[in-house]
Chains A and B, each alone.
Chain A
Amino acid sequence: MELDPLVLSRLQFALTVGFHFLFPPLTIGLAWLLVIVEWLGWKRNDEDYVRAGKFFAKILGVTFAVGVATGIVMEFQFGTNWARYSEFVGDIFGAPLAAEAVLAFFLESTFLALYLFGRHRVSKAVHWLSILMVAVGSTLSAFWIIVANSWQQTPAGYAIRGGRAELVDFWAAVFNSSTPHRFFHTMVACLVAGAFLMAGISAYLVLKNRSVEVARKTLKIALIFGFVVSVMALFPSGHHHAKQVAEDNPEKFAAMEGLIHGQSRAPMVVVGKPNGEPPTMEFVVEIPGLLSWMAFGDVDAPVQGVEDFRREGWPTPPLVPTFLSFHAMVGLGLLFIGLTGLGVLLLLRRRLDQSRWYLKLLLWSIPLPLVACELGWIVAEVGRQPWVVYRVLKTADAFSTNVSGGEILFSIVAFGFIYLALGALYLLILARKVQHGPEPQTPKEHE
């Protein structure tokens, strides 16, 4: 049996980064929510918020640990499995990774310790500052890794010299055309994930009538926050990001939107099933002209289709996964707006506590934003294929030639087992913490 190192390295990267990326969105989202919760606990001297802080801090701690453990794997994996990539792009790609460590990892890790273990050792002001630094640090971490990944999507500020990409303009490379959109979109997505986590857990506590005075408060914050960021994920973020992709990565845009034949007055495919080779769309429901209008602001604007690129000799990404992932992600995004919107409505009508069916829905919805994140990443990364650096370097020319398929198979299997176990244990620990709920109120002392 021939073990192809390219296929195996791609599979390993996909599995390891896919698993890793379940945790940072929860960490980032939860950290920012805790900035709010801890602020309220401090400034209003409200014990419910302090109890909420202590409770969710424990969840943040265990989530962060798994995020770190699975994150180290990613930093090393560029070198282990993608040595040719690392040599080709190192002059540009390495710097954001190093910046991520110096400016972000240190900040979040050091202050998380203060937040988790130092509540009774420092002033309330310093303690609140520590969760702010965790939020800022994790956000900076997202920024720098997205800078690096965005450079792969829309490379800029470089020149090819001596068989490698060399840095010509640092700021142009960092703020390439996709960085701002992708950073904003990923951040908002992380905030949605955090909001659903807090909302779902709070809903559970209300359903079980456990620490309800705390849970009502966190549920309210999570729902309002969640509604705002869910809307933002679609508009302005999702929309503007899609416009940017139409501009800069038209092959990806054609695939994700399912536009097979380039045309002006291009239709937006709402649902469809790409089928066959050459591809056609079956069971299609589409809105004429809408894609042209949304992508370029003009119904008559031509939008390139998958077939156009093929005719011109430009390779296109795998149509089915790119198309299905994008559409599923958008569908979920709309669901998030509806779900949180409904919650806000129930909140305003003071019907939230009694709407047990809704609270159960919130609980079961916790994983959905993470699914949406993964789908988004599939669009981004699979949609960029066969390029590892768009129109500069092919994925097939980037893997380590000195690592055998057998070695990679070993590590994939090992990661598979370890991550499955970690995932299961994480869920077990999370469930137990949630079931236990926040610490009870301190009994009021009568002097």
Chain B
Amino acid sequence: MDLNTVWFLLIGVLLVGYAVLDGFDLGVGVLHLFAKDEHERRIHLNAIGPVWDGNEVWLLTAGGAMFAAFPVVYATVFSGFYLAFMLLLFALIFRAVSLEFRGQFENPRWRSFWDWAFGVGSLLPAVLYGVAIGNVMRGLPIAADGSLNVSLFALLNPYALLIGVLSLAMFVMHGAAFLAVRTDGELRERMARTTRAAWTVVVVLYVTATLATFFVSPLPLKAVVASPALWLLLVVLTAAIVYIPVSNRAGKLLPAFLASAAAIASLVGLMGLSLYPRMVPSTVDSAYHLTIYNASSTPRTLTVMLIIALVGMPLVIAYTAFVYKVFMGKVVLDQDSY
């Protein structure tokens, strides 16, 4: 396995980590828009309060790793999707500050504004990530010189929007599953029901998206069919998807949440691996695809980065697990809470 493949996989791991972790943060943020009263809203905020910031770092790490390992992809996609990225940034800014700002004043209009900002700041990224993935899967008009010129309007094509809504539904399902584990009583029951409802939407959208992919960009599907590793992922995805409502109805809400995580992980994995070794396919000419070979840094850089990752990530996982352990359990509102 060459260094380029290793880094393709590592960035995949970072993106999967982000989706599984900040995925439930974003889902909770969207669900927060539908919370019944002040107490319930605070439960939502404090369910993710201690962990959302660390979860978001997975995105920054994926971005930094992309810059370091595949700078051509980083430069092409980030500049090509300029306005979409700006929208994403504005949303993430709002999501971040609304959590902190909301509780600073008692005024209901103040809190209402930041509730809205928190909700939209969670919803927009959830959709935009799917839109981005959809566009990458579909392929982009990368020219011979590697440049990418595509308008925001073109990025919001039906296929990409479909993936965007799918991604939103998955994060809402994941967020509801998370809240169900961490709450009690009526809210717990309601979140369990919401998980199942979101699950139904996810399944319908996933089937639709798979069919659409067949028409829009058959290459990923062909890749899945041709590869045993991807077949395995597909099996895991199906098992996880099936297990979610089964465990949920049996009242096993933690396994349901973990299954939700597995479903997201395997879906992101499938999408990523189906592109391999391409990173961004070109609709202009297959010679212009951005691949893990023509868009990468030097072997020296990839090696240095690998060492940093092998030293750093185990530490990250260790202390992240420790902090999660301190804060998981039922959400309790105390003097330090939001």
In whole angstroms, what is the CA distance A148 to B27 when docked?
Answer: 35
Interface string of B189-230 (1 = CB under 8 A from A): 000000000000000000000000000000000000000000
State whether the Cβ of A335 lies closer than 8 Å to any Cβ in chain B: no
- Is B326 touching A122 in the complex (CB atoms < 8 A)? yes
Judge whether A172 is part of the interface by a CB distance below 8 angstroms.
no
Please tell me if the beta carbons of A109 and B54 are within 8 angstroms of each other in the complex: yes
| A78 to B89 alpha-carbon distance, docked (Å) | 13
* B64 CB contact (under 8 Å) in A91, A92, A97, A118: A97
- 1/0 per residue, CB under 8 A from B, across A92-103: the answer is 111101111111
Known: A65-B96, A102-B309, A422-B97. A94 touches B320 (CB 8 A): no
Q: How large is the interface on B (under 10, 10 to 19, 20 to 34, 35 or more residues)?
A: 35 or more
Decide: A414 and B86 in contact? CB cutoff 8 A. yes
Task: Give the chain B neighbours of A432 by CB distance below 8 A.
Answer: 104-105
* Contact across chains for B297 and A402 when beta carbons are under 8 A apart: no
Q: A118-B327, A414-B86 are in contact. Are A113 and B63 (CB under 8 A)?
A: no
Known: A113-B327, A402-B147, A402-B148. A90 touches B320 (CB 8 A): no
By DSSP majority rule, is chain A's interface helix, strand, loop, or mixed? helix
A97 to B74, CA, bound (A): 13
User: With contacts A90-B72, A90-B74, A114-B326 known, is A402 near B79, CB below 8 A?
Assistant: yes
Main secondary structure of the interface of B (DSSP, over half): helix
- Asked whether A83 and B54 contact (CB < 8 A) given A69-B97, A91-B298, A432-B104, the answer is no
Q: Are B97 and A121 in contact (CB under 8 A)?
A: no
| Residues of B32-50 whose CB lies within 8 A of A | 49-50
Cα distance A119–B337 when bound, in Å? 11
What residues of chain B have their CB less than 8 Å away from a CB belonging to chain A?
A: 49-51, 53-54, 56-57, 59-61, 63-69, 71-72, 74-80, 82-83, 85-86, 89-90, 92-93, 96-97, 99-101, 104-105, 147-149, 297-298, 300-301, 304-305, 308-309, 312-313, 316, 319-320, 323, 326-327, 334, 336-337
Q: List 24 A-B contacts (CB under 8 A).
A: A68-B56, A68-B96, A75-B63, A79-B79, A80-B85, A87-B71, A90-B74, A93-B67, A94-B301, A98-B69, A102-B316, A105-B60, A106-B54, A106-B316, A110-B323, A113-B54, A122-B326, A166-B298, A166-B301, A167-B300, A402-B148, A403-B82, A407-B86, A432-B105
Could you list which residues of chain A lie within 8 angstroms of chain B, going by C-beta atoms? 61-62, 65-66, 68-70, 72-73, 75-76, 78-81, 83-84, 86-87, 89-95, 97-103, 105-107, 109-114, 116-122, 133, 166-168, 170, 400-403, 407, 410-411, 414, 418, 422, 425, 429, 432-433
